[in-house]
Each structure stands twice: as C-alpha cells, then as structure tokens.
Structure 1
Amino acid sequence: MAHVVIVGAGQAGAACAAKLRALGFDGAVTIIGEEPAPPYQRPPLSKAYLLGEMEEERLWLRSADFYAEQGITLRLGARVEAIDTAARVVTLGGEAVGYDELVLTTGSVPRRLPAAIGGDLGGVFTVRTLADVDAMRGEFAAGRRLVIVGGGYIGLEAAAVGAKLGLDVTVLEMAPRILQRVASPETSDYFRALHGARGVKILESTGLDRLLGEGRVTGVRLSDGRELPADFVIAGVGIVPATALAEAAGIAVENGIACDDHGRTSAPHVWAAGDCASFPWKGGRLRLESVGNAIDMAEAVAENICGLAKAYEAKPWFWSDQYDCKLQIAGLNAGYDRIVTRPGEGGAVSFWYYRGDALLAVDAMNDSRAYMVGKRLIEMGKSPAAEVVADPAVELKGLLKA
C-alpha cells in the first residue's frame, strides 16, 4: 500500500492530507508535526487568540475526530531529523519511517533578535506558534510597556492587540516607513494614522542598538542613543523558510525549497508546498507567505501525487486585521510605478497598484467589494483605466464586464 508522508503539520500539511482523501487516495497518509497541537490556523494567533477572544480548539483546522475518520495518522510532537531520498526514509527519534511520496510542508520560522544584543533575555518574544503566544499572553496587562521591533503586519497586529488591552505600545521600524517592504506609502500612511489615533507610538528610521536588562529585558537602547523602558519586547522582524531539513538531504533550495510548477523538488518522489516552497513565476521564482498559497499549492501537490498532472497557478491574496480595520490584498505589487486611490463608503478606501497601464494589486481597507473586484480583474488579466477606477461614481462590478 502506498504511503504518503507529510512533514509539517500546518495549513499546507493538513490541506494536502485532506485533498488526498477527497481525491480517493486509499494508501496510508501520515502527517508529522513538531508541535503537540493538531494542525491549526496561525493568523488568529496575533489577533483573536492573543486578545482572548478565541479558544484553542477554535484554532484547529479540523475536529479532533476528522483525522481518525479519514485514516490520516497524526504524529505530533515529533521532529524529523533526516531524510534519505535514496532509501525513501525519514528518521525521527531514531525510528525510520518509509515513504513512497514525501511532501515537505515545513513552513517558516521567525527571525529572532541576536543574542549579542540581548535577544536571549527573558521577556523577549516572537509570534509564530501557539506556544509563542501562550508564553506572552500573561504579559498583556493594562499599563505595561510593550516595545515591538519591526513595523510589518505581525508587529502592527500585535501593537493593535496591546493598544486595545490598554498597554503603552511603541513600534520601532528601521526603514523610513512602516510596511515599506510590502506596501505603498499610502497604505503606510493609513496604518500609521490608525495606530496613532489609538495612542501607539511609531518610531520610523529608528534602529535597535540593544536590549537592556540582566536576565530579563527592562528596556531598549535605540540606534540614536535614546533609551526606552520596556516590560517586554516582541520581535516582528520577518520569517524565513524552514529549509534546513531539505538542504541536509541535498534537495535544491532557492529562496525556499525549489519546486517545479507541479510542486516537485529536485529529489525524486519529494514534493513541497506552502511557506517553505518556491515555484516558477513569470520567468523567475516566487515564494508566498500566505494561507491561500499554503492551501492551494498543497492541494495541487495532492492532485499531482494522484496523477492529475496539474500545474500550480498562484492567485496571491492576503489579509490583516487591526482594530476595526480589515485590510485585504489581492495580487502582488512588485514593480508598481503609481497608485490610484479609490474612496469607499463610511471611510473605506482602496489603493490600486499599476505598472504603466497594467493593474498589479489592490490594498482594500474595509472595502471588500473593491478587494473582490480587484482580485477578479487581476486573475482575468484585465486592467481598467486608472481614471475610471479613481472615480467613485463608477460601479466597480461593471469593470468586470468591460
């Protein structure tokens, strides 16, 4: 009986296993995950779960009974130590587990602040796993001083939770503006104002020199010599693909585990999907850190394991929740040369990214209609004229028929 082993019990791993069964695959399926919890959603960790508005079981992607009912073996709290691609074996805890097809859905790991500048002090946290958030939840008490290093989406989401719970929150961003790597100046301005109105202090063009304290963090020293007190610190300085296992097995890595357009890696019978994987995209390679990509790519891999020979076509979309604002992003904005602003109803707004006359992406703040239409337009390869998009009198749905 064929055996598919999936290494990584996150969104991609769970999606791959479920899709295999949905397609009628009747061999053995095993998911191996390092965390003790069954596969769960990560996005709510820095939002509803951290706020205490969501219980752990509501994070789970499937009920506790689903895996047993589907004949999917979960091996949790288990770390794969090595892959032997010639023998088709993975090793964990000294045990060799054979596979016919191996799927790597190892995800990503957060960048940590270096120990040389105090990153190993107590009270310094990252936001990636359930254990990470459980460890920091007790720190979120009104009046305490939180310093967040990094003004990306994770850092800003944590800042929103802190502000809502009454903490004194400061965000440090080394770049000239928050969200600089991923969004337009207009989107940065929107979120800077949103946080400022709720008392969050955002310090841009401000680097971290070191963390202060003996044993536990008590403050931060900035690159300009200023010192700020801190009861705890969150590092939101990005993530990197978890490729060490693949590299040690001699599998090609290029900004993630390198796959072809079907999800195959350089090793026979080894596939990859999700945050850890890069794939061909418009003459180069792309790696996406998103729920949508994790699910869609993992399902494409399952289809190809089942012999359907389906090329993966990414349809990038992302979201972020901060306070009462829901940001929805469609497309990829790399290479844009102008922004078109479209006002919505009740303070909603969307920013449309163009390169020349081509629509690349849309950032929609509390404007789900702009997001949905923008997403469809991008997927259809349609680019409405910028002046038409900017006109609030133009009905967005009509653009799909133009």
Structure 2
Amino acid sequence: MRTVTVVGASLAGLHAARGLRDQGYDGRLVIVGEERHRPYDRPPLSKAFLTGEDPTGDDLTAQGPTGEDPTGDGEPDGGLGPLALTDPEDEAELDAEWLLGVRADRLDPAAGAVGLADGRTLRTDGVVIATGAAPRTLRAVAPPGVHTLRTLDDARRLRAELRAGAGRVVVIGAGFIGAEVASSCAALGLDVTVVEAAPLPLVPQLGERMARACAALHAAHGVTLLCGTGVATLRGTDRVTGVELADGRVLPADVVVVGVGVRPVTGWLEGSGLALDDGVLCDEGCATALPSVVAVGDVARLALPGTGRTVRAEHWTSAAEQGAVAARNLLAGTTVQPFGALPYFWSDQYGARIQFAGRREPGDTVRIAEGDPEEDPGGGFLAVYERDAIPTAVLAVNRPKPFTRLRRELARAPRLAAR
C-alpha cells in the first residue's frame, strides 16, 4: 500500500495510524477529521472539564491558541491543553497529512477513493473507518438551552451555560454520560433531575441488583432520579423552559442535557458495498468483507468468535486497543490477528470510581466480595459475576486494587468470560 486514509481524527483513528507506523508502514498516511481539532480525550468532557476541578491539577478549561489553522479559514484552532492526545513530537513521528474540519461523504472501494464534502477526492489503497458515533436527539430542532455532549465544542457550550446562572438542569437519560453530567452539575451546586425511560438505568450492562446500587448514588448526592417515564416534549421557543414527561408532569429547566445514546456514523458508507447494521460489520479482527478496509472504535461491530453474535463497544479502552490489531490486518490483507481484549469500562460519578470488566450475560449470578452495595453503595464494593461458579465479569465501586487483580485473572482466561 502506498496510501492509507484514516477517516476519523479520533482516539481510535489515531491509534490505528500509530499502529500502521509501528508495524513498518512508511507510505503516505492521511487523517481526515470532521472536527477542526487534533485528536483529544473525550472522557473528561462530561466530568472535570465541566467542573474545572481536575484532580491532576491540569487546567482542562485552557483554550489558548496554538497558532494552527487546520481548516484554512483564518481562525486558529483552540489549544487542547491536557486533553490533547498528540504533541509536536508525536505528530512528527506519525508523519501524517491532516485534513481537519472536513467530512468524508462517500467511499468507493472499487475506485480506491474517499470523497470529501468539500468536493475533493482522495485516492487511497487502504481505508481505516474511525468515524465514531453521533448523539441521538429528541427533536430535529431544539430550543436554545438543550444540549448533547459528544465533542469538545459541545462541552464548551454546555459549560458556558452552566456557569452563566443556570439553576435547574434536567438530564434526559441515565446512562454513563447522563450520570456523569448529572454528577458534574451537582458538584456545581445546581438543582439536577435525571429522567430515565427504563424502570432502572444500566440494567443491560450491570444487571438489576447492581444497577440499583449504582443508581442509588444519585439520591445520595441530592439528585432526583425519575425512572419509568419518557419525555413527551421540550417546552420553550426562544429558550427551553421545561421538560414535559409522558405521564404529564412538567419539570422546569434552565438547561437540558440529552443523553439517550448514540448512533454510529455510517451514512457516508451507504452504497459502498460494506455491510452495515448499527455499525460497520467486521470479523473478529476489525476487518470488513473488503480486504482494503478495516473499522475501529465506536463505529465497528465485531464478530464474537464461537457465539454467532456481534458487538459494538462504545468504550475508551476498546477504541484505543483496536487500532494496532486493525492496522496489522489491513497491511496483511487478511485477518492474521483477532481482537481479543477483555471488555472494560469505567465511570466517575459523585466522587466514586465505577469499574467494570468482562462479559455479563442474563442469568449470571452476583457474589459480593467486598462492601455492602445495598447499605452503602458510595462507600465502595466489589461484585463478581459468575456462571456455573466461573467468574465472567467484575464490577467495583472505589475498589481499584482488588478490581485490577480480578480483571487480570479474567483476561488470562478469556474463554471463561466469553462463553
């Protein structure tokens, strides 16, 4: 391959690009990004970036100009500060062409081309799809004061409104993003209500018992959690004034944050011949049915060997670790290495670190190894999921050391966690 194009200047795309260079690829490397920013770290956006209280002492709110003009519009990119995933030395080693602030809108594998929304066409021998996911919304057009949170620019707009006198915040969706935003808003002293359509948040990920324990963190920190009701409409025209629930209640709101999940960004791949089903369908090594195309990160739906199932992981660790595997298989022209990392994710809420590793299935039993999640979930606990007395997953709240030990044990026996 003489040219490889990475579509998506994201964590996953960056790690795929690094993987290509690490494995000896010395050809032309092009990285296309719809955002005007270099790759940056997203997890802090719903946490320390909103509150400005980063435990490392770094100023995550820094926006000093770097002097770069990646979009060519005469406006310098805002400095990313500690959120940046690259520095000048890294970028020199990567030796990539950065096309930022432009969206890819078509893929023509037969012609070996990626089309850009500005009319340009990139000729390429290989493609890494890393376009990630976009937030789902409740309305095509929402009044001012209604936010989703995915990008740095989203976070900057939300933070500005939270600091401009917003007193009442309604968060729609109690998944990890919604819970983290609620936690950050509570830390800012705001009146926060979280609305969740399901009877209990995070049941698919954690199971009912552990989901209830984690949900209890909201009430323990003065946040109202309303479950089992959807949203009928958003009130307000010039500005959002409230959220009307399906049961008729109206919640006054100065700011609304919608966190009802994401959809993989695959529209630009329609007609390319790639199989699409809530993501780009891949084998166990991130390779698509086209030997010159791989997919990584939130957009990739990987096969789980031996199960007949596929899975799309929306977690930082998967996005970071898939890059090297995808790069190797792209250069080989076939899958020579599967992606076998154990699923892992974490969330910081109300001063608690929640960590999960493994693959929980319905019917797995839960054994509490430390603490008491029913009596004091915020005090910390360690829970082990088991199937036929064999560990399949582990959940911890403020138990990092024993969690790490059990995570390593699961990783050494991946067949047990993937049965």
Provide the TM-score with structure 2 as the length reference.
0.86
| Superposition pairs of residues 276-355 of structure 1, within 5 angstroms | 276-281=299-304, 282-307=307-332, 309-344=336-371, 347-355=379-387
**Following the alignment from structure 1 to structure 2, what is the Cα–Cα distance between the partners of residues 39 and 95?**
22
- Give the whole-Å Cα distance in 2 for the aligned partners of 1:259 and 1:50: 35
State whether residues 85 and 268 of structure 1, in contact with CA within 8 Å, keep that contact through their aligned partners in structure 2.
no
Amino acid aligned to 1:43: P
179-188 vs 14-23, greater mean Cα deviation: 179-188
SS in structure 2 of the partner of residue 343 of structure 1:
strand
Structure 2: distance between partners of 1:207 and 1:303: 45
The DSSP-based 3-state class of the residue aligned with 1:37 is coil
How do residues 163-312 of structure 1 correspond to structure 2 at under 5 angstroms? Answer: 163-281=186-304, 282-307=307-332, 309-312=336-339
User: d(CA) in 1 for partners of 2:86 and 2:342?
Assistant: 24
Aligned-partner Cα distance in 1 for 2:52–2:316: 22
1:79 aligns with 2:112: no
Q: What corresponds to 1:63 in structure 2?
A: 87
Report the CA distance between 1:297 and its aligned residue.
1.3
Question: Could you say which residue in structure 2 is the equivalent of 1:51?
Answer: 51
Matching residue's letter, 1:305: L
What letter matches 2:162 in structure 1? F
Q: 1:125 matched to which residue of 2?
A: 147
Alpha-carbon distance change, 382 to 102 in structure 1, aligned in 2, over 3 angstroms: closer
Q: CA deviation at 1:340?
A: 1.0
Aligned partners of 2:368 and 2:383 also within 8 Å: yes
Find the residue that maps to 2:237 and give its secondary structure: coil
Amino acid at match of 2:34: E
Report sequence identity in percent.
39
Kindly provide the amino acid, as one letter, of the partner of residue 12 in structure 1. Answer: A
What value does the CA root-mean-square deviation take over the aligned residues? 2.0
**Equivalent position SS for 2:4:** strand
Does 2:168 correspond to 1:136?
A: no
Distance 1:164 1:251, change over 3 A: same
Q: Quick one: distance in 2 between partners of 1:372 and 1:318?
A: 12
Q: Secondary structure at the match of 2:50?
A: helix
Tell me the distance in 2 between the aligned counterparts of 1:75 and 1:195: 42
More off after superposition, 98-107 vs 358-367: 358-367
Q: Summarize the Cα distance change of 1:169–1:29 in structure 2 as closer, same or farther, 3 Å threshold.
A: same
Cα distance in 1, alignment partners of residues 359 and 149 from structure 2 = 24
* CA deviation string 1:378-400 (max 9, x = no partner): 2223899xxxxxxxxxxxxxxxx
CA distance in 1, matches of 2:415, 2:402: 14
Specify the alignment match of 1:149 in structure 2: 172
| Cα contact 1:67–1:73 (8 A) shared by 2 | no
Give the partner amino acid of 1:335: P
Aligned to 2:67: none
CA contact (8 A) 1:102 1:271 kept: yes
Secondary structure of 1:285's partner?
strand
Distance 1:172 1:317 in 2: 26
Deviates more, 1:349-358 or 1:168-177: 349-358
Q: Deviations over 1:271-313 (max 9, x none)?
A: 1111101111032111111111112211101122333822221
User: 1:67–1:342: structure 2 CA closer, same or farther, 3 Å change rule?
Assistant: same
Question: Distance in 1 between the 2:389 and 2:266 partners?
Answer: 38
Structure-2 residue corresponding to 1:162: 185
Aligned to 2:408: 376
Structure 2 distance, partners of 1:79, 1:339, is 45
CA–CA distance in 1 between the matches of 2:272 and 2:143?
34
**Residue of structure 2 in register with 1:396 after alignment:** none
Contact 1:377–1:383 (CA under 8 A) maintained in structure 2: no
Alignment partner of 2:205: what SS? coil
d(CA) in 1 for partners of 2:231, 2:319: 33
Contact 1:242 1:276 in 2 (8 A): yes
Letter in 1 for 2:127: L
Report Cα offsets for 1:350-376 as digits up to 9, x if no partner: 122223323221111011123212212
For the residue of structure 1 that corresponds to 2:204, the secondary structure is coil
TM score, norm. by length of structure 1: 0.90
The question of whether the paired residues in 1 share the 8 Å contact of 2:291 and 2:330 is answered with no
Deviation string, structure 1 residues 184-217 (Cα, Å, up to 9, x no partner) = 2333333333221221011111221111112321
Q: Which amino acid aligns with 1:314?
A: A
Conserved in 2, the CA contact under 8 Å of 1:317 and 1:329? yes
Which residue does 2:115 correspond to in 1? 91
Cα deviation for residue 65 of structure 1 reads 4.3
The answer (yes or no) to whether the contact 2:172–2:194 under 8 Å persists in 1 is yes
Q: Tell me the residue number matched to 2:32.
A: 32
Q: Match for 1:20: what amino acid?
A: L
SS in 1 for 2:86: coil
Give the C-alpha shift of residue 344 in structure 1.
Answer: 4.6
Paired amino acid for 1:330? A
- Over residues 224-273 of structure 1, what are the superposed CA-to-partner deviations in whole Å (9 max), with x where a residue is unaligned? 11111100100110112111122332211133101122322123411111
Task: Give the stretch that moved more between structures: 100-109 or 302-311.
Answer: 302-311
Q: Could you tell me whether the CA contact under 8 Å between 2:3 and 2:29 is conserved in 1?
A: yes
Aligned mates of 2:156, 2:119 — CA distance in 1: 30
Q: How far apart are 1:101 and its partner, in Å?
A: 0.7
1:382–1:211 CA distance, 2 compared to 1 (3 A):
closer
Provide the rounded CA distance (Å) in 1 between the counterparts of 2:347 and 2:269. 30
Checking the alignment, whether the CA contact within 8 Å between 2:173 and 2:260 is kept in structure 1 is yes
SS of 1:151's partner is: coil
